[in-house]
Amino acid sequence: MSAGSGLPRLEGRDKVTGAARYAYEYPIEDCLYVWPVGATVASGTVTEVDATAALADPEVVAVVDHTNAPRLRPAVTADELVLQSPTVAYRGQVVAAVVATTLEAAREGAEQLLVRYVEHPHKAVLDPDDPDLEQPETTNAGFPGTSVKGDVDAALAAADVAVDHIYTTPPEHNNPMETVAIIARWDGERLLVHDSNQGPWAAATGYGMLWGIPADQVDVVTEHVGGGFGSKVWPTAGAVVATVAARVTGRPCKLMLTRQQMYTMAPARTATRSRIRLGARRDGTLTAIDHDALQYSSVIHEFVEQTGSATRTMYASDNLRIRHRLARLNLPTPRVMRAPGKTPGMFALESAMDELAYALGMDPLALRLRNEPPTEPATGLPFGGRHLVDCLRAGADKFGWASRDPTPAVRRRGRWLFGTGLASAVYPVYQQGGTATARASPDGTFDVSVAAVDIGTGARTALWQAVADALGVPPSRVSVHIGRSAFGQSSLAGGSAGTASWGGAVRKACFELGRRLAEHGGAVPVDGLEVTADTAADQLPPDHARHSYGAHFCAVRVDADTGQVRVDRLLGVFAHGHALNARTTHSQLLGGMVMGLSIALCEQTIVDPRLGLFVNHDLAQYHIATNADIRGLEAHSLEHTDDDVTLVGGKGIGELGIVGSAAAVANAVFHATGVRVRDLPITVERVRAR
């Protein structure tokens, strides 16, 4: 059948011709425009919002601030509780909004607004010696803040060989092509929104919580989304402002954040500092693993990046300790960004494994193979399919790793130094419950509705194929409807769980519809036949450690004069179970690898500690890898089947390609130059500084 084949995207033509409508593009009559105003201090109290000049413009309809905004209720984070208090927790926090009949008037009104503050001392530096550091009980995704097995300190002291190094990653910002956008309008106590989000049902739930109304009184339409990467998982501060403005004015309101506003009014990734200590016997057997992870959250909400979570599951050791610590800074609350925790954590762990291999005089591949665990190291749970060794071996074979000379800084042609490196990849398997509705019509066609969202991954097409396969009919007889919260409770496009979760729901609905049709002798009643299925009771039991795995192999060249790094080849091999669409799966893996390369070489948000300001808040200064930065890029999927995984037989792929790729690049740079860069990104200054 069609499932698994590489059919082209259903919406492809509409997107390239401009027919596909995104949230901001819907024509709405009598619509107003909203321009949010961010705080110009990092900590303080708003004492006055002087709107006299702004309101003198007849096109300005309203200025909303904490003194006249309707009251909201706590929801996901305190950041979304906009315009509720005069307290300023970070620079860029929404302190007012100008609403006008044109976008230009709203922006001009915002420029004319005069906001006065009493400024307070602030803190914007991640400092391991901060006396106020917290040790949280849990991290994001429910991992324990601290895990201890055995006696790590004694094992490190007794180790034949040990390494002890600190690895850092900077703040990083999501930069989807489409920024946060919304059209909000009220119909009595019903909120209707066209919203750019990563899950219509989650958005409806979030807006409902904020406004104190049931989720089914919020109608969210999310037909097309121009990327998210974590920035649109929950209603953002920017989007909530539009719902407030619509409530105050009684008219529909449109808002689309500028690129600069995305850096303070939408989520980003925290900076991290990981101290990794590894102990081993002479033969490479790990005797101790210690990962101390420091990250920050805001002063108004606790979010703990699960930086050490991958260390819990990667390599065998009788002595294992992971600890997370948290600094509270006057910066926006960090949230999820693709592969949260795993991306910075695996850069640290996989770099340290490379350093240990060199300290032992051992092949980095052989070191990883030697320390393959029989069960998950931190929990002792059996693995629900672990194919890391298969990925490493297949990747080594495709890359030609066996012919590698391990000596660093000896391969030179002209001014270029050449090197290779590798790293492992891992991402947990998540599956969320939800509903889907399947309908058969007398004309032989089928319609399936699910509150999924396609953020650019090809989910719409993959679900179309899954439905056709489950019904046993050609895809041409199937229509899939997504992007409405009215379609019922459903998963986010996050945690690499979306397609597997939605796919499970639509397959269950289709199987039940098939059973009902069989009861009718295969004939469809004149008024059709409809079935709604719910997978809430079909979740994976916590009796196995379930992950996707992969391996990255990287070849770089480094300019010996300038320190410029060029990635000549990046090859990944991944084990993720069944793919609903081979083409979009391959595209997702390639995209993840590009993002990992970008994190390795380009991405960082720079904080001015004096002002608490993200200074490079646009795409001219926040650098992202482009096609010109990519040369040889290869992604390969292993053929395998795991029992007891998701309802569609597949594991998440959206974030797997990112994890470990930055370490593979860094390890290759060391092999080329003999310079170990432990702080991302790998800039020319850092290559030349050692």
What's the angle, vertex CA 502, arms to CA 498 and CA 507, rounded to 5? 145
Label residue 433 exposed, middle or buried (CB < 10 Å: 0-12, 13-18, 19+).
middle
Longest dimension (CA), the chain: 78
Q: Tell the burial category of 458 from Cβ atoms under 10 Å away from its Cβ (0-12, 13-18, 19+).
A: buried
Residues with Cβ within 8 Å of 472's Cβ and at least 6 positions away in sequence, in order, are 1, 514
Q: Whole-angstrom distance between the N-terminal and C-terminal Cα of the chain?
A: 57
Listed residue (363, 367, 362) closest to 401, CA to CA: 363
CA dist 552 and 572 (Å) reads 4
Catalytic residue among 80, 350, 355, 655: 655
Question: Is 509 in contact with 467 (CB distance < 8 Å)?
Answer: no
Give, as one character, the DSSP assignment of residue 606.
P
Whole-angstrom distance, CA of residue 278 vs CA of residue 280: 7
Q: Look-up: residue for tokens 């909303």? A: 64
Cβ-based burial of 639 (10 A; exposed 0-12, middle 13-18, buried ≥19): exposed
User: Residue 321, SS3?
Assistant: strand
d(Cα 221, Cα 196) in Å, to the nearest integer? 9
Query: Where does 494-619 show beta strands of DSSP type E?
Result: 529-534, 547-559, 565-575, 607-608, 613-614
Closest C-alpha among 302, 172, 158, 295 to residue 229: 172
- The rounded distance, in Å, linking the Cα atoms of 6 and 25 is 30
The structure tokens 């620079």 sit at 91
| Coarse DSSP helix, strand, coil percentages of the chain, rounded to the nearest 5 percent | 30, 25, 45
Other C-beta atoms lying within 10 Å of the C-beta of residue 518:
9
What tokens were used for 164? 């002890």
User: Smallest Cα–Cα separation from 289: which of 148, 140, 464, 118?
Assistant: 148
Residues 6+ positions from 264 with CB-CB distance below 8 Å = 38, 90, 91, 92, 93, 332, 614, 617
Q: What are phi and psi of 115, to 5 degrees?
A: -110, 125
**Residue 655: active-site member:** yes
Buried b (16+ CB within 10 A) or exposed e, 557-586: bbbbeebbbebeebbbbbbbbbbbbebbbb
**C-alpha 112 chain-centroid distance:** 36
> 118 has which bridge partners?
45
**Distance of alpha carbon 73 from alpha carbon 310, whole angstroms:** 35
List, as own/partner pairs, every contact residues 64-68 make where C-beta atoms lie below 8 angstroms and the sequence separation is at least 24, other chains included.
64/96, 64/97, 64/99, 64/241, 64/244, 64/245, 64/248, 65/95, 65/96, 65/97, 66/95, 68/248
- Provide CB contacts within 8 A for 397, sequence distance 6+: none
Q: How is 625-660 classified by DSSP, letter by letter?
A: --GGG--EEEEEE-----SSS-TTSB---TTTTTTT
* Active-site amino acid positions: 655
